[in-house]
Every structure is written in structure tokens, then in C-alpha cells.
Amino acid sequence: AARVARRGPGARGRGARGGTSIGRQSARPARLPSARGSPTMSRRAHSAASSSSSSSSSGQNSGSVTNPFSALEGIESDGEIQEALSPPPRAPRKVRNPLVWIDLEMTGLEPEEHTIIEIAALVTDGNLGVKHIGPSLVIHQSEDVIANMNDWSKEHHQASGLTEKVRQSTTTMEEAEEEVLDFVRKHTEPGVAQLAGNSVYTDMNFLKKYMPRLTAHLSYKIVDVSTVKELARRWFPNEFRRRPRKKLAHTAMSDIEESLEELKFYKQKVFKRTKGRQ
């Protein structure tokens, strides 16, 4: 009897082993159909599984269940899904030690009597590497303003075609200031960027009168290439004679490019390090 009793549990275990196996198989969740190689089918299967899971949960719980994929409803392409899940774009990084190069073409040299007819801008870092090229805008002026140009401006702006561009332009002074200010704000911190260019003090005086908001964003300091040129002429005459010559196109952006190249020349040939010194 004892031997029978000892065999009894074993027999029951062997007899139940088949039932246990079946039970384990039936307890496994049914696999979704394979959709390998088909992104659309895979998404549908995933969505169906999520929907089924949500429905089941809602039947067991009184609280509502939020579908984590609800943000993707109505989206069909992979590109749209990627766009929906992507984080918002970061704000552009500000330039370190920036110089804001601005050149103006005016009807003369007196801010109280003359005005701005063209403006261009670009931003470099402290080592004169161009980081961002800004707008180049011709500003509309009336025939009375055009007639009030000084003799130099009449001759050169007529020859370059700028005078006719001023007549045809529809850009106002306020619109030009807004566009340049938006560009400068995007790439520089307030009060940090220094205005740079040739004889840039004259440009600053015109900006103060006609574009005060742009002036307020800039530093009170300026980098005037004309000053560097005059010092090089006095102290480094040999290097000065090899400076790049101006093309005299007299357009705002071309003047900026020439001023930038000139300062790069002085940086390399005049502001050079002495061997053995940092």
C-alpha cells in the first residue's frame, strides 16, 4: 500500500503533465500576423493591438484609458510620423564675439539733409569668419529725395544703376529696418555685436537717425577698418602697399565684402604673432 501511495503522486504528475502542457499553450497570447517588410501592416497591427488592449482595460477599469498612439491618428506616411514625433527645432546658436558688418549707400553724408537708399548686412565671428549673410535691400525714395543727392552720389549712383533701383523699389525705410533687425537679432545677443565696416562712424550716424531700433540692438563700440588702414599706413608702410585694392562698385554688399577682405589682410600681415611669444 505504501508503494502504491508513493507511485500515486508520480502517476498523477505524469497524467497531468500533458494537461499542463496544453494549459501552457492555451495561456500564451496569440501572435499577430507577421508584417515584416511592410511598415504599413506593422503599424496597423500595432494600432490594433493597442486598441484591443485599451478596450480590454476599459472593460475592467472604470477609468478611461488614453491611447498613446492617438497623436498618430490620420497619419499615413513614415515622414508624417517622424515629423509628429520629432521635437521642436532648436533656436539658432548665437555667434561668439560677433561683428555685424553693415554698409549703407546714402544720398549724401549729412544725416539731417540726406537719407539711406541701400543697406546690406552680414555677421562674422571674432576671427572674421563669415557666419551669416544677411539682407541687401534698396529703399524707395521720392523724386524730391533723389534730386537732393549731393554731386558725388548723383554721379556714382547713376553709373551703378542704384538710382533707378531706388525709383523701382517698394521697400520702405521701416520695412528695411525690420528685416535687418530680425536678421541681427537672430544671430547676436543685444548689446554685444559691434558694428564693423569702412568709415563706419558715418553709417552709425545715419542708423541712429533712420533705424534707431537696429542701433539700439548693437554695442556702442565699433570696428572701423579705416582706422586700422590709417595706422598700417603710418606704422607698417611695406605691408600697407600690398593691401587689396577696392573695386569701387559702390553697392552696399560689395563694399562690405571689400572691407572684410581688407581687415583680413591686416590681421594676417600686420597683427601677426612674434615667434616665441603668445
Which residues are known to be catalytic? 250
Nearest to 122 by CA among 272, 265, 261, 267: 261
Cα separation values, 96 from 100, 117, 124, Å: 12, 31, 9
Three-state DSSP at 101 gives strand
* 8 A C-beta contact, residue 102 and residue 119: yes
* 8 A C-beta contact, residue 235 and residue 254: no
User: 148-155, long-range: CB within 8 Å, 24+ apart, which pairs?
Assistant: 148/107, 148/108, 148/113, 148/114, 149/107, 149/108, 149/114, 150/107, 150/108, 150/109, 150/114, 152/108, 153/106, 153/107, 153/108, 153/114
In sequence order, which residues have a C-beta less than 8 Å from that of residue 189 and are 6 or more positions away?
94
Cell of 128: 572674421
CA distance 112 to 206: 9
